Amino acid sequence: MEIFIGINTFDKYMNLLKSLLSGSQYFIINKNLVKAIGIDASLILSQLVEFEELEDKITKNQYFTTTIGQIADSTTLSIFKIKSGINNLYKNKIIDIIVNKNETIKVKILHENIFTTLSLNAKSLIKNESKKKAIIKQKRFKKPTLKELKNYFLKIGEVDESEIMFDYYESKGWKVGKAPMKCWKSATRNWIRRLNKSVKFPNHYDKKLDMKLSNDIEELNRYHKHLKKLGWISTYSPSAGITWRKK
C-alpha cells in the first residue's frame, strides 16, 4: 500500500520508527526498505535507531555518537559490510555522518527521508505489481484443433465451415487483421454472423460467380465447400485449368 505520513512531532516519528525498525532483543526490518536499500543497510539503520533511542537528550535532527565496533557487536556484521552499509545510507540521504579522529562517528538519522524512501518504493512496488497482474490477465492464446473448431461450429451454427475457417486463419497465423487473435470462439461466432449475411450460393457450378469471387478468397472457399457438400468435385488440367463436375 502507498504510505502517507503526516507527523508533526518528533515523538510520533520515533514511535512509528520504533515499530518499523527497532527492537531490544531482535530486529524488525521493513520489507519495502530492504528492497530499496538492501538488507545490510536496513539492519544497520535499525541498530542506529535503537542507539538513538538510548540517548537521553536526543531531540529531532541532532547527532548521537557511536563506533563501528559497537555496530558490529550489535549486528554481527563484518566491518566491511558496516562501512558499506553506512555509505549506502549516506548516499540515500537517510543518515548524515561525521567521522571523528578518535574512531567514533557522529550520526544524525534523517527521519523524514526514511518515510520518503518507503513511500517512493511502495509506489514502485504497486506499479510493478499492477504490471504483473495485467500480464497474468492477458492469457496466452492457444489455437483450437480442427476437431474443437468443428464441434463449436456444430454447437452454435447450422453450417459447418470449420475447415474453411481453420485453413483461413492458419494461413494468417491466427491473426485478426494485424493483431493476434484473443479468442477463437468469439472469432467463430463472428464468422457465422458474416456467413448468415452472405449471398446464398447456387446448387450448381457457376463459372461467372467463381470468377467474381476470385478476389475474395474467403467467399470463394465457402462456395467451393458448398459445391463439395452437394457432390461436386474439381479437377485440374494444364489446358482447361480447374473444372467442376457432378459425381
48-105 tens-digit pLDDT: 988 888 875 555 568 899 999 999 998 899 999 999 999 999 999 999 999 988 889 9
Q: Is residue 1 part of a domain?
A: no
Cβ neighbours of residue 39 closer than 8 Å, sequence gap 6 or more: 29
Provide the pLDDT confidence category of residue 161 given band limits of 50, 70 and 90.
confident
Q: Please compute the mean of the pLDDT values over residues 197-215 and round it to a whole number.
A: 80
82 and 156 part of one domain: no
Cβ neighbours of residue 38 closer than 8 Å, sequence gap 6 or more: 85, 88
235 and 208 part of one domain: yes
For residue 174 the three cell numbers come to 491466427
* Domain end marker among 136, 159, 177: 136
Check residue 2 and give its pLDDT: 44
Q: Specify whether the backbone of 237 is left (phi greater than 0), alpha (psi in -120 to 50) or beta.
A: beta
Residue 188 has pLDDT above 50, yes or no: yes
| Number of domains, the chain | 2
Q: Which domain holds residue 204?
A: 146-246
Q: Please compute the mean of the pLDDT values over residues 30-55 and round it to a whole number.
A: 86
Q: Is residue 112 part of a domain?
A: yes
Distance from chain centroid for Cα 229 = 48
Residue 1 has pLDDT above 50, yes or no: no
Check residue 11 and give its pLDDT: 63
User: Higher model confidence: residue 61 or residue 196?
Assistant: 196
Task: Please give the angle made by the CA atoms of 176, 140 and 172, to the nearest 5 degrees.
Answer: 30
85 and 200 part of one domain: no
pTM equals 0.42
Q: Is residue 2 part of a domain?
A: no
108 and 166 part of one domain: no
113 and 214 part of one domain: no
31 and 115 part of one domain: yes
167 and 192 part of one domain: yes
Among 91-100, 104-113, 137-146, 228-237, the minimum mean pLDDT is found in 137-146
First to last CA, the chain: 73
Check residue 144 and give its pLDDT: 93
For the chain, percent of residues with pLDDT exceeding 70: 77
